Structure 1
């Protein structure tokens, strides 16, 4: 099996209502061996070991969802893709099995917060 290494942008979403997020860029991610569950672990480890993510330490990140594929249409929502409920990523599948390609953007957030926001997508300032 050949290695397929890509670059991913992970959108750490702290607040849907206030559109608070910060990007994490991951380089040389092997999509043939990296599972979505392992990706979650790696992102959380990076949050805890890299300066600049202190405001995100108290967020209970538990869900990955594809936000955007390279050369695909972007959603009108600036924080998360609310349109495709089939784009949630399964922890047991590899990134390749999940259809993740180079320069894809993935949202990482708390599922309970997402469900609450989706039921009433009100933006606050």
Structure 2
């Protein structure tokens, strides 16, 4: 089917994308230091938890915000962490845009759920 061919072509394009390759390289560099890897993982988890709490309208988010700010200060002093997070955010933005294009293409078929 043509759609599978296009999906495979998209997968190949992702693998060849410079932003994706840069993310992988930054991830490999980050993996050289377990402590930094753990710190970045915790930072991203905390960031996601905070975003979820805010989206759900949770009020007691001050503690998570303070934790995130403290971690941000530690990360600023670690070049491997900064490099990875910059590449991660660039890739997340690009991948989000691609995903949005795909969702928009399928929206009409899902309109019955509205």
TM-score by length of 2: 0.26
Larger radius of gyration: 2
Which structure has the highest helix share of the two? Answer: 2
Higher relative contact order (CA 8 A, sep 6+): 1
Greater fraction strand: 1
TM-score relative to the length of structure 1? 0.25
